[in-house]
Structure formats: C-alpha cells, structure tokens
Amino acid sequence: MSETADVVIIGGGIVGSSVAYHLAESGCANVLIIEREEKQGLGSTSKSLGGVRAQFATPINIQMSIYSIDLFSRFEEVMGQTADYRAHGYLFCATTESHLEYLRENQEKQKAFGLKNAEMVSREDVVKMVPQMIADDIIGGAYCPTDGFVDPYGVMTGFAKRAKELGARVWLDTAVTGVNVENGAVTGVRTTRGDVSTRNVVNAAGPWAAGVAQMAGVELPVTPLRRQIVKTQRCDFLPAKFPMMIDMSTGFHFRREGEAILMAWPDNDETYGFQTTFTHDFLEKILTRAVDRVPQFADLPVNPKQCWAGMYEVSPDHHAIIGPAPGVKGLFFANGFSGHGVMHSPASGRITADLILGRQSFVNPAPLGIERFAEGRLLEETAVL
C-alpha cells in the first residue's frame, strides 16, 4: 500500500521547511517533506550568507521582508529554536548622485509599504560606522537598523522541528523520481522509497527546481548560478559590530561573523550551471575590490579552505516564483528566490500555505505567479546583491 499525504513538499531546505511549518500551524498536519540528502539543508540553505533586509526596490519584496524580519525577531518564542537574528543593519554606500537618487526613491517605496526606520545617511555617518573604510568617493547612503543577519541552518531547523511537533513528517535520503499527473491534476509522487499519493505537491527544490517541474511536464524558468563567499581569519581592526556594508560602485559587500569577516561580490563573469567549487581566481578578484575599500584587508589572512560557494536559484526578473502551476492542478512553486530564499523563507512559507489552503494571505501573491513571464509583466528587482 502506498503512503498518502495531504501535501508533499519536494526539498527539505529552509523554504520547504517553512512551507511545512506554516501548513501544520494552520491545521494541515498531514504533510510530508521529501529530501534527497541524508540531512536537511545541504543544498543552498547552509551556504547562504544569512543576510536579511527590507531595503528592496519592489513592493512585494519589501512586504515579504517586513513579514519575515518580524518572525525572525520572535523566532525563539514561536519555534523554541533561535534564529540568531542580529539587527546590525544594512548600509548601502553611494558613490554617485544616481545611486543616491535610486536609494531615495526606494526609501519612499519602503516607507509607503510599512518600513518606518530606514534613513538616508551622510558620508560622515558612513565613516563613523566603519572608520577604516576609504570613503573619499562616498557621498552618502541608506541605512536600516532592523536589517541584519540570521543563522540559516538554525532557522531551517526551527521550522522543521516545529512542523514535526505539529504532525509533519520528513523522509531523508529519498529522491523523487516522478510526479504523477492525471487529467491535469497531481495524484502523487514516485520516490526511491515508494509511491506517495497526494493531491498537492510543493516544488521547493531550490537550484534543482526546473528538473522537478519537468517531472510534471511544466517548464520553470529557474537556473542555478554560483555565488562564492570569502571568510577571513580573525579580524581585530574592524568594529565588533557594524552593518552589512555594500559598496554600490562595485557590488562588493562585507560583514562581521564572530571574529571573522565574510565578503561577497557578484562576479559578472560567472556563468549559469551547477557549480559549487570555490576558486582562487575569484579570491583574487574580490580581494582587489576589498583592499580598494579597506586597505587593511591586504594584511588580513584568508584560508581558501574556509571559503565556500553555493548556488542562487535565479528567475528571469530576480523575484521569487510562488503560486500554482498553470495546467497542473495541485502543483505549487516556491522557487526562483535569486539569493533571497533565506531572508524571505518565513513569508514564502506563509504565502504558499495560504495558496494551498485557499486563504487570503498577508500580501496579494498574484504578482509572483509564473504566468507573469508569458504575459510580459516582469517585476524587475534592481536591489540585488
């Protein structure tokens, strides 16, 4: 006899775990997460930089961030597990008038959609936060004190643990080999552990989402893109606490992680594909930009063995694809986060659960539907790191 579940979630990372929690918490407890690895979070979740911010350029991303950051701030009391949310802020540093104008326009939108504490800052304010930076070309910036960082693995664990306490199940070390569709509706999934009959399937497979969608005969425009992270050795010359610093002239950004510094930079030479090796070539490129901004970085040791690479799951407009699959009743997407999967995991879990349960959500999810690509109404997110 095959297993049955009200909802099967393919992918047990942070997004799949959040969907499971939000479903179970709403009373839909017969949920099964299927994860192909031997433990959860070995895909993109554990490789994330862990940043969370509400300083975005589009209403939907701003609203998803506000919902998510609120939950991160109460995570321990709700889940019984710490998210390690550190509200150290994000500081976008502008070097041109057009950068400043862009930040001002975004801030108007952010305020209109409920973010009250973002503020424009002067060059002097920037220097106060990180005096070690070369700031001759910086003319101001935008800062939000409730932006910050979380522990992605801790958040995923919290969602999954609470979901299981409420009745959800997790199958580890199990690959989905097919999605059964009859008369235009999902009837179940085939796995290496046997068949499961279900009327609802959530694709939460991260960079592997397009392959899962194809099992149901649906084309999903999500492609993997490697992003590399540099972790330095102990750094004593920067403040113990400072915001995520984003250099808008190059895209280089850095933050503190304990005694170390984490650095990231969007390398335009990176090509799409399933690549997760860290390269010395990238290390040279990013350190050049790092030293240009903070000369003391030249003397800060980096052990390449402690650096890593993960994959963004990129959609054509750098916005999540959340919603039902056209033509396949019962198939739902929670994909294409383009680097914002961890920070938006609470919101995406809530929206997906609400769609499955036929409820109104805290935000209208229609703009995130996959139909937008065929209909030419893309949501261009320009504030992408």
Tens digit of each residue's pLDDT (9 = 90 or more) over 210-238: 999 999 999 999 999 999 999 999 999 99
- Tell me the pLDDT of the chain averaged across its residues: 96
Q: Is the pLDDT of residue 306 over 60?
A: yes
How far is 51 from 262, CA to CA, in rounded Å? Answer: 11
Percent of the chain with pLDDT over 70: 99
159 & 287 share domain: no
Which pLDDT tens digit goes with each residue over 149-206?
Answer: 999 999 999 999 999 999 999 999 999 999 999 999 999 999 999 999 999 999 999 9
How many CB atoms sit inside 10 A of residue 156's CB? 26
User: Which structural domain, as residue segments, surrounds residue 258?
Assistant: 87-145+224-312
20 & 91 share domain: no
How far is 22 from 276, CA to CA, in rounded Å? Answer: 30
Long-range CB contacts (within 8 A, 24+) of 118-122: 118/54, 118/55, 118/142, 118/143, 118/144, 119/143, 119/144, 121/91
Residue 56: inside a domain, yes or no? no
234 & 346 share domain: no
Residue 62: inside a domain, yes or no? no
Q: Is the pLDDT of residue 384 over 70?
A: no
Percent of the chain with pLDDT over 90: 95
DSSP conformation class of 39: S
How far is 256 from 239, CA to CA, in rounded Å? Answer: 9
Of residues 238, 255, 287, 297, the one with CA closest to residue 91: 255
pTM of the model: 0.96
DSSP conformation class of 272: B
Return the residue matching tokens 């980096």: 302
How many CB atoms sit inside 10 A of residue 162's CB? 19
Residue 354: inside a domain, yes or no? yes
How far is 243 from 92, CA to CA, in rounded Å? Answer: 9
228 & 212 share domain: no
Domain count, the chain: 2
